[in-house]
Amino acid sequence: MNQYPLWKNLLILAVILFGLVLALPNLFPQDPAIEVQASEGEVDSATRAEIAATMENAGVPVKAIEKREGGKALIRFESPDAQLRGQATLDRTLEEGYQHALTQSPDLPGWVEALGLQPMFLGLDLRGGIHVLIDVDMDAAVTQALERLTGDVRTLLRNERIRYLTVGHEDGRLEVRFRDASVRDEAAKLIRREFRDLDITTGSQGGDAYLYGSLPPAKQEEIKRFALEQNITTLRNRVNALGVAEPIIQRQGERRIIVQLPGAQDPARLKDLLGATATLEYRLVDTEHAVQDALDGRVPVGAALYYERNGQPILLKRRVIVTGDQITSAAAGFDQQSGSPMVSVSLDGQGARQMRRVTTENVGKPMAVVFIESRTVTRLVDGEPVKERVRSEEVISVANILEPFGRRFQTTGLDSSEEAHNLALLLRAGALAAPIEIVEERTIGPSLGQDNIDQGMRSVLIGLALVVLFMALYYRVFGLVADLVLIVNLVLIVAVLSLLQATLTMPGIAGIVLTVGMAVDANVLIFERIREEIRNGSTPQASIHAGYDKALSTIVDANVTTLIAAIVLFSFGTGPVKGFAVTLFIGILTSMFTAILGSRALINLIYGGRRVKRLAI
């Protein structure tokens, strides 16, 4: 009685050994690091040597530079401060075609890496970094869609030579004014055929005929959903270019986005890049009219008044040659002749054809580059803070067209290398589909993250020690068995988190502490049942057998109900709640394994198949 077959003992032992191996990488320290990757090819030994020399010249202490899988290079640093200094050095010196990202890398022995083992991820509260909650202006997305439709309707009516008085939008609907009702009805048929998403109605006012177009609610919801998804994609592109490994960018609710950047420590730059909208426009300079006329309020037809960065007014053609939407790639650098910051851009097929045609027709004439930036600012109105979008347009470069432009060319006139770098990043990432506002921001320093780890580990160890002491004193030999399987349970939790590459957070540590207390519940039920059987006069062997068998249903029922609660928390919770639910779910499963099978196997080894007169319980 009370003996497991050999295969079951071996299976339990194999699971425990497998868990020990999986949990092993978490014992090794994490080094602050930077991962360098080439856009094409790999980071060769010459580039790694050049990086090492650059770091040495900049006085940045480097622990090691390693070759990694996929042709990447990993730079290990002695401290987080050295890591941030190393990132700043690479920002200034790394050549075009290379990207770098902040990360952390465990200092694993070669044989552990050969097995492909990795430690579990640490959350933002343990690792340090920046947390940002972003609100997307959904109403602005619908307004922008209506503005595009207004322009499309205006173009359609012009192409079809249908005469109208005005085309605009007001109060969330398109409005077109005609002199004649018959012309309006003809336009209504055309617009209904070309724009099936618009609900068209007609009316009359003050002797004029009106046509109204509105977006149905289903279409508005589709626009809002697309705007949120497009903004997530754009923000992900911007964050990836910012140089942060393993960023978390996900939707929260119907209009909000969470951005978490482990290891990042520059919230000001992050806010500038996330919220800014910067682009370029290329226009011909209007040399046929006087700038003074425009300054006096007489702006010529087909022209617009702009200002250069030094405040000098300049008259440009209204017609745009190429916009930022037609730029497919952009990279910051320095002009070889002047040494000034520049951005090298590449155009898509349509943009390249337009640029080539216009520059071919206007060789010898000046062309201007307009830098357009839009950002949210806060102003005090009657003592209350009011947020509004501010758009600035300034000419950053004017130069004569010496020869026709191709698909790829350079833009100069930027104030600094940082401005060139940020502009290139925004051009590559694309435009936001709707304005955003940062409504919450938290920055957790590396030292605070380490403090959280230390406090979390301390809480787990104190809880474990108290439970171990109580069980050993109260249940004696059986208590020592429960203590041993409790330690194995902790190892298995860490092993499963590492295997799934799950993220451990402070709430996750709270879930582990709770699991430590809950894990002994099953053993307490079993041991009390064994004591009851002994008091009822059963033999020691029969008491052990009955204790485990009769307590099983109670243990399973209690743990299944807690599993259901953990699943609900994970399904409907966000962020910290999910972290707690994950560790609680895993802890319940591992505690059932260790308490029911693990402790039974040890008790069987101690008492099974023997003549026992008395149990130490």
Per-residue pLDDT of 437-462, as tens digits, reads 888 888 777 667 778 778 888 888 88
Residue 383 pLDDT more than 70? no
Mean pLDDT of 34-58: 85
Alpha helices in 343-445 (DSSP H): 349-361, 417-429
Looking at the fold, whether 454 and 582 belong to one and the same domain comes out as yes
Looking at the fold, whether 423 and 453 belong to one and the same domain comes out as no
Residue 417 pLDDT more than 80? no
Q: Which residue has the higher pLDDT, 246 or 18?
A: 18
Question: Chain-wide mean pLDDT for the chain?
Answer: 83
Supply the range of the domain harboring residue 11. Answer: 6-24+445-607
Looking at the fold, whether 305 and 330 belong to one and the same domain comes out as yes
Q: Which range among 30-44, 241-255, 574-588 shows the weakest confidence by mean pLDDT?
A: 241-255
In a domain, 522, yes or no: yes
Number of domains in the chain: 4
What is the model's pLDDT at position 245? 62
What is the model's pLDDT at position 379? 67
Task: State the CATH number of the domain containing residue 58.
Answer: 3.30.70.260
Round to the nearest angstrom and report the end-to-end CA distance of the chain.
19
Looking at the fold, whether 318 and 194 belong to one and the same domain comes out as no
Q: Up-side HSE of residue 519: CA atoms within 13 Å toward CB?
A: 40
Looking at the fold, whether 421 and 281 belong to one and the same domain comes out as yes
In a domain, 69, yes or no: yes
Mean pLDDT of 476-495: 91
What is the model's pLDDT at position 267? 67
In a domain, 35, yes or no: yes
Q: In which band, very low, low, confident or very high, does the pLDDT at 431 lie, cut at 50, 70 and 90?
A: low
Looking at the fold, whether 426 and 449 belong to one and the same domain comes out as no
Q: What is the bridge-based pairing of β-strands 129-136 and 436-444? A: antiparallel
Looking at the fold, whether 367 and 400 belong to one and the same domain comes out as yes
Domain-ending residue, one of 405, 430, 455: 430
In a domain, 317, yes or no: yes
Task: State the CATH number of the domain containing residue 285.
Answer: 3.30.1360.200
What is the model's pLDDT at position 446? 65
In a domain, 64, yes or no: yes
Looking at the fold, whether 421 and 551 belong to one and the same domain comes out as no
Q: How far apart are CA 123 and CA 444, in angstroms?
A: 11
Tokens 């037609």 correspond to 326
In a domain, 258, yes or no: no
Burial of 301 (0-12, 13-18, 19+ CB in 10 A): exposed
Looking at the fold, whether 426 and 308 belong to one and the same domain comes out as yes
Q: Which residue has the higher pLDDT, 220 or 430?
A: 220
Looking at the fold, whether 35 and 18 belong to one and the same domain comes out as no
Which tokens sit at 356? 């080539």
Task: State the CATH number of the domain containing residue 601.
Answer: 1.20.1640.10
Q: Which residues make beta-bridge pairs with 222? A: none
Looking at the fold, whether 295 and 416 belong to one and the same domain comes out as yes
What is the model's pLDDT at position 272? 67
Per-residue pLDDT of 317-364, as tens digits, reads 988 888 777 777 777 778 777 778 888 888 888 888 888 988 999 888
What is the model's pLDDT at position 414? 72
Looking at the fold, whether 187 and 50 belong to one and the same domain comes out as no
Per-residue pLDDT of 398-413, as tens digits, reads 888 888 887 888 777 7
Per-residue pLDDT of 385-394, as tens digits, reads 666 767 788 8
What is the model's pLDDT at position 494? 92
In a domain, 488, yes or no: yes
